[in-house]
Amino acid sequence: MTSTDTVSTLTSAAAALALPDQPGALFAALEQATYRAIGHRLFTVMRHDAAAGRNRRAHSSDPAAYPVSGYKPVNWDHPWTRRVLVEGTPWIGAGPADIAWAYPDHEKIAAMGLTTAMNLPVRWAGRTLGTVNLLRTATPFTEADATIGTVFASLAVPALLAIDAA
């Protein structure tokens, strides 16, 4: 994708901020935009609640396999948690061993044929509000993908804040 295409894709995703039916409209636009700019087979957005020590799925491109519901406890001792949720640094899992290291449901992910992942923290005012997560087959994500993905993920800030206000 050229830089002109990336700007166009970002512009269309940002335009979704003005649409009614939030946060769904924005999450759907981010799903499509990240697909065009980076590529993925599974796209999810998690809302992080540090005070309660839990995460909740707020959007899923595959609601049958990964529904929007329930809470997952945060394992504060895991290095992934420190990196992504505490420090706010993207994480790239480059193969099945990385997926198994980071995801308790790695067997389900493997059964879906997904072998690489990227978790992008959504940050606001020095804290992590949640993550935008992309998974796909074969081709690992790159640092360049994480750089542009972080820009896309930042567009989720108002949507994740709105979840709290609802």
Helix axes 24-37 and 157-165, enclosed angle (nearest 10): 160
Q: If we measure between CA atoms, which residue out of 120, 115, 124 comes closest to residue 95?
A: 115
pLDDT in tens, 123-148: 999 999 999 999 999 899 999 999 99
pLDDT of residue 138: 82
Q: Quick one: CA dihedral 159, 161, 165, 166, positive or negative? A: positive
The closest of 65, 56, 5 to 35, measured between CA atoms, is 5
The pLDDT assigned to 2 comes to 60
Mean pLDDT computed over 105-120: 97
Residue extents of the structural domains in the chain: 24-63+71-124+155-166
Return the CA Rg of the chain. Answer: 15
Task: Give SS3 for 128.
Answer: strand
The answer on pLDDT for 73 being more than 70 is yes
What percent of the chain is modeled with pLDDT above 90? Answer: 89
The pTM of the full predicted model, rounded to 2 decimals, is 0.95
Q: Are 46 and 130 in contact, with CB atoms under 8 Å apart? A: yes
Per the structure block, which two tokens stand in for 107? 């067997």
